[in-house]
């Protein structure tokens, strides 16, 4: 027993935190992450207070699960009790592709056969949960090989981690007025993830200053006015919430009338952001769009069976909306198509 304790003390004494942190960061970059930071695992007290105010206003819409176990959401040690450090990573998912939504036909009510709906950029390729999760598991395996005393837990959006808050703390970027993390190099086109470790490491202390300035392009462009003030989103008005998270049989009228062709999600606030205009393309091939995932044929969506849906969206983030949600969204878009005019003057 004494020998084991002495061995552990010797191991801890010889552990170089700065060197270990540098090696872990380098490995993360080699695995394909573009940004990585390391911070202490502790309670997010300021962020917790903001979260509670946001929830109190009911801005989380139908996402009632956000009300449960707030201590887990704001302190990673409730998720992984041994956590001492949080490795925060970001990976660029931007591709060169653009939406090409078909225009309604002239001559009678436009049908769905050749009409498409837009899909949010984050869901064009394979499911980011799996891609980011696989890379973080590789990072954990590598870390264990270097330091056998390592224990860790991978977190990719499924666990109740405040991903954007941790990314800000780790110096990866700043919180934009549209409530997405913005990075200098890749704008807001990044996926985030965390690796919780029991290792005490050297921590990053420099955060990136907010560089949104007086810009309000995202707020002004939002079709439904969901960004009620800078850095505050009312999910009940958000097209992404309505088309992905909502399980209601019908989309609320005030949102349905402003969908602007969005079938799954919405990128309007990100598309207009100046920081997203000249971003490099991703080097991860699995983020490249699947066939029919940039602009989806509405008629195809409506004709999907449960079996065909499961096959088409296997390992795709679009599973989140479920078949009933996608078909509801497609019906809503078709119903919003204008009746054609027989002449310019009507």
* Cβ atoms < 10 Å from Cβ of 147: 15
The active-site residue, picked from 75, 134, 157, 299, is 157
Catalytic annotation present for 16 = no
Catalytic residues: 157
């Amino acid at each position: 027993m004494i020998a084991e304790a002495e061995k552990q003390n010797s191991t801890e004494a010889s552990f170089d935190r700065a060197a270990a942190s540098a090696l872990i960061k380098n490995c993360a970059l080699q695995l394909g992450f573009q940004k990585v930071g390391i911070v202490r695992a502790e309670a997010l007290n300021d962020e917790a207070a903001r979260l509670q105010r946001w929830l109190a206003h009911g801005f989380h819409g139908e996402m009632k699960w956000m009300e449960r176990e707030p201590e887990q959401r704001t302190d990673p040690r409730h998720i992984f009790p041994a956590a001492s450090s949080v490795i925060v990573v970001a990976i660029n998912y931007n591709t060169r592709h653009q939406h090409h939504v078909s225009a309604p036909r002239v001559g009678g009510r436009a049908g769905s056969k050749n009409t498409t709906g837009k899909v949010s950029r984050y869901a064009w390729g394979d499911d980011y949960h799996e891609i980011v999760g696989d890379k973080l598991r590789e990072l954990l395996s590598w870390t264990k090989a270097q330091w056998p005393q390592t224990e860790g837990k991978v977190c990719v959006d499924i666990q109740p981690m405040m991903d954007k808050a941790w990314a800000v703390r780790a110096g990866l970027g700043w919180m934009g007025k549209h409530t997405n993390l913005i990075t200098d190099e890749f704008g807001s086109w990044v996926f985030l993830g965390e690796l919780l470790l029991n290792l005490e490491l050297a921590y990053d202390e420099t955060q990136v200053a907010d560089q949104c300035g007086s810009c309000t392009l995202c707020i002004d462009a939002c079709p439904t006015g969901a960004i009620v003030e800078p850095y505050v989103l009312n999910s009940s008005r958000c097209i992404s919430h309505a088309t992905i998270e909502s399980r209601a049989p019908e989309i609320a009228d005030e949102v349905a009338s402003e969908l602007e062709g969005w079938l799954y999600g919405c990128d309007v606030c990100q598309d207009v952001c100046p920081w997203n205009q000249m971003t490099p393309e991703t080097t991860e091939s699995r983020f490249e769009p699947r066939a029919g995932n940039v602009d989806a044929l509405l008629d195809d969506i409506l004709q999907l069976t449960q079996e065909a849906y499961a096959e088409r969206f296997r390992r795709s983030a679009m599973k989140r909306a479920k078949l009933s949600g996608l078909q509801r969204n497609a019906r809503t878009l078709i119903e919003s198509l204008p009746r054609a005019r027989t002449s310019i003057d009507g």
